[in-house]
Amino acid sequence: MHNYLVYKAKYNAGIKIFRRFIRVNSIISLMLVLMLLLVTGCGSTAGEVGTASDMLEKEDHIVVGFSIDSYLIERWQRDTDIFAAKLKELDSTAEINLQNANGDIDTQIQQIKYLIEKKVDVLVIVCIDSDSLSEVVTEAKSAGIPVIAYDRLIKNADVDLYISFDNEKVGTLMGEALLKAGLPNKKVMMLSGPNEDNNVSLVESGFNKVMASNDIEIVDTFHAPGWKAEEAATYLSEHITELNSVDAIMCGNDNIATNAIRTLSEARLAGKINIVGQDADLEACQRVVEGTQVMTVYKPVEKLAQAAAEYALALAKGEDLGVSTTMSDGSYDIPYYFLDPIAVTSENMDETVIASGFHLKEEVYMNVSN
Ligand code: BGC
């Protein structure tokens, strides 16, 4: 019995010591865990950890959101290819998230919203409608994303940069080329682009000034919706009799010129009406050297795209652009960087379009025997 009592007392004391040991150790373990959490910072929520790593990614990996109207017209592939190449050359880790709206304004707005959600570092936009993006651009800007209006102005949106060519000068060059080629009846027709594209009114304004100061009448103007050249051609074929007294057609771009010339050939009027356009599309350059188009306006898009890539990177890094020229977007004066367009005729084709590498000589002169 005594043995049993002694044994029980020892047993109880043992249990007590064991329990105390466990308690003390738990406190120490708990303290160790807490210290570890404090040192590693793992006490924050999963969300905060995500934000921290996102921020790290943002710092060394710039993403440019590029929203483009469409690839309907030849030049835009060149614009985006050169932009992408220049961006990689300047920063090998930078990326483009390119969204093509296929000419649909609602799609373009949705795509820009998606790029905002994606938290791109800067947005570059070729707008479809200069009047419809002010709201979504404001959204981007309040999310801290700077915006570049590429080639076409976005109105009332206070973009960080508008980069383009001197579009009014494009129209002036077209008008001067037609005058030089001769306008005996003093009558011209205009097959222009859509009014939604701000460039259209700028080009027309330059063209109209030259016409007005030389007493030339613009007998008819058609605005091709969405730059659809087939619609301009259809309009022309429906108004073909008007051409009896018309000396020339000012075409909003070379694609419209291609379609207009096709319609003129069908009506056996090819070569009788002088044509001008812009973009220096390959077909237009071929026509210029063949003599079926008076001139095209060459806009060195490679320079535009390269400058835009540099500015996009600078804006993404929060740097000052140093662009002092401004233009009113209807509500705000915005930084405006512009390049000069060049009139191209058969006389200067070699030293402009060909010398710059825009087109190969053998392609431009493909149908001309030397
Ligand atoms: C550009 C032209 C182009 C047209 C159709 C205009 O805004 O200035 O170069 O041909 O859009 O894409």
150-186 pLDDT, tens digit each: 999 999 999 999 999 999 999 999 999 999 999 999 9
- Higher-pLDDT residue of 19, 284: 284
197 lines ligand 1 (CB under 6 A): yes
pLDDT of residue 2: 43
C-alpha of residue 186 to centroid of ligand 1, in Å: 27
Q: Which of 39-48, 91-100, 341-350 has the lowest mean pLDDT?
A: 39-48
276 token code pair? 């001008």
Tokens 């329990």 sit on residue: 19
> What is the 151 CA–ligand 1 centroid distance (Å)?
8
Contact in structure between 47 and 77 (CB atoms under 8 Å): no
Residue pLDDT, tens place only, 73-90: 989 999 999 999 999 999
Q: From ligand 1's centre to the CA of 277, what distance in Å?
A: 11
Q: Which atom of ligand 1 is nearest to the CA of 170?
A: 8
Distance, CA of 103 to CA of 129 (rounded, Å): 9
pLDDT band at 369 (very low <50, low <70, confident <90, very high): confident
Query: What is the chain's mean pLDDT, rounded?
Result: 88
Q: Which residues contact 109 (CB under 8 A, 6 or more apart)?
A: 132, 133, 136
Question: Mean of the pLDDT values across residues 200-206?
Answer: 98
This prediction has a pTM of: 0.84
Spell 54-92 as b/e; 16+ CB within 10 A means b: eeeeeeeebbbbbbbbbeebbbbeebbebbbebbeeebe
**pLDDT above 70 for 204:** yes
| Whether 299 contacts 279, CB under 8 Å | yes
Q: Does the C-beta of 281 come closer than 6 Å to ligand 1?
A: no
The confidence score (pLDDT) of residue 44 equals 30
Residue 271 pLDDT level (bands cut at 50, 70, 90):
confident
